[in-house]
Homo-oligomer: A and B are copies of this chain.
Amino acid sequence: MNAAPGSPAPSERVLVAQFGVARMTVRQALDALVVEGLLERIPGRGTFVAQPRSVAGRITSFTEDMRRRGLLPESQTLTARREQAGTGVARALDISPGDCVIHWRRLRRADLQVMCLEDAYLNEVLLPGFLESGMPTSLYDALAARGLRPTWAEDAVSADHATQEEADHLELRPGDAVMRVARRAVCRDKVVEVSRSVFRADRFTMHVQLGAG
């Protein structure tokens, strides 16, 4: 059970007594929670559970994104196999053309409605046994479990018309509006994911928060 936003945390001096520790130590611990946005200090009043602030520019996966909207995310794997990287994918993944990559194509739904067709390319070397371990629902959860959650990502977002193939998968007519998102996700100087997603424009609006909250 999480405490409700706005509810007071124990005062620093109370924690000092409770844990038999110096106040500077308590403050450093609280500071960490404050910079994480979990607590909020108000001078002269106390320390409180912060309003959940939408983290500026947080890197979200489709799964997290849909959940935050209160929708149920689902994935249907269309392709999951080893391939040799082409020149474009190789450059984006920072490997050599012909190197082994994992190609994972999924049709993604939210509340049973088709939302997005996604082609993800992963660096095989960083994810040994990934294909054999059973495909997870959330790629980012799987990466996190391996200590590879992206710390930085770059999206190229554009609008376009659906191709015939995309229309077939997304239950659209060719030429209908779609949003394309090309992502390059990095974890500590290692490119862990390169993906191209095609979203149904009528069902998806991307929300981007910029700057410091």
Q: CB within 8 Å of B: which of A151-186?
A: 151-161, 177-179
A128 interfacial by beta-carbon distance below 8 Å: no
| Binding site secondary structure of chain A | strand
Fill in one digit per residue for A179-213: 1 if any B CB lies within 8 Å of its CB, else 0: 10000000000000000000101001111111111
A1 interfacial by beta-carbon distance below 8 Å: no
Q: Which residues of chain B come closer than 8 Å to A35, judged between CB atoms?
A: 35
Q: Which of A152, A177, A201, A212 is packed against the most chain B CB atoms within 10 Å?
A: A177
Q: Which residues of chain B come closer than 8 Å to A208, judged between CB atoms?
A: 57, 154-155, 157, 208
Q: Cα distance A59–B153 when bound, in Å?
A: 16
A145 interfacial by beta-carbon distance below 8 Å: no
Q: Which residues of chain B come closer than 8 Å to A161, judged between CB atoms?
A: 177
A150 interfacial by beta-carbon distance below 8 Å: yes
- Check A159/B211 contact, CB under 8 A, given A56-B57, A56-B152, A57-B57: no
Q: Assess the A158–B210 pair: CB atoms within 8 A.
A: no
A24 interfacial by beta-carbon distance below 8 Å: yes
Q: Assess the A177–B152 pair: CB atoms within 8 A.
A: no
A58 interfacial by beta-carbon distance below 8 Å: yes
Q: Assess the B152–A179 pair: CB atoms within 8 A.
A: no
Q: Assess the A211–B59 pair: CB atoms within 8 A.
A: yes
Fill in one digit per residue for A60-74: 1 if any B CB lies within 8 Å of its CB, else 0: 000000000000000
Q: Assess the A211–B58 pair: CB atoms within 8 A.
A: yes
Name A residues whose Cβ lies closer than 8 Å to a Cβ of B.
Answer: 24, 35, 56-59, 150-161, 177-179, 199, 201, 204-213
Given A154-B209, A158-B159; 13 other pairs, CB 8 A cutoff: A35-B35, A57-B209, A152-B213, A153-B209, A153-B210, A154-B207, A155-B208, A157-B179, A158-B201, A158-B205, A160-B177, A160-B201, A208-B208
